[in-house]
Amino acid sequence: MAGRRRAAGVALSAAGCAGIWAAVIAAGPLSRGAAVQVLFAAAMIIGALGESLLSPAVPVTNGDRARLGAAGRRKRLSTCALVAGCLLGPAAGGAALGAGWGTSLLTALAVACALAGIAAQRPPVIWHRSHRSPPSARLPVSPILAAQADPTGGCAPPAAR
């Protein structure tokens, strides 16, 4: 991926994920034989490649698309969404499969992954370092960080600072 946009890795990963779900849908009626084994092996390889493209690209892409000073917040929300998906996904998927909605669930997952790949291609909004948020949107600086930024450690009189 050297020399390419990180969003291309996210889009390729999403396309691979959509392909995996489509392969699972296609393998469903086959149930046995070499074709199922080939589809399963292909899906595992595509999944491994997609995961290796996705993992390094998402945190950096989130940081690039965040406003100045909001990169950490955006990365935390991304991590929380990932953890929530890992916690709730198996329960929701098991309930859907138990209700007999297997093909509908897999189709919805394939469509969602394809849409995510399309959305990843949206050009990022680059917030230049010269961008300053309005004073009301700035977070207050903690006294500890303010003292660390002050070379005198806060011991100099206000006129000397």
Is 1 within the bounds of a domain? no
Q: How many domains does the chain have?
A: 1
For CA atoms 148, 151, 156, 158, the dihedral sign is negative
Query: Is the overall model pTM greater than 0.85, yes or no?
Result: no
Is 156 within the bounds of a domain? no
Could you read off the pLDDT of 3-62 as tens digits, one per residue? Answer: 667 777 788 888 888 888 888 888 777 767 888 888 888 888 988 888 888 878 777 777
pLDDT of residue 41: 87
Is 63 within the bounds of a domain? yes
Is 148 within the bounds of a domain? no
pLDDT of residue 99: 94
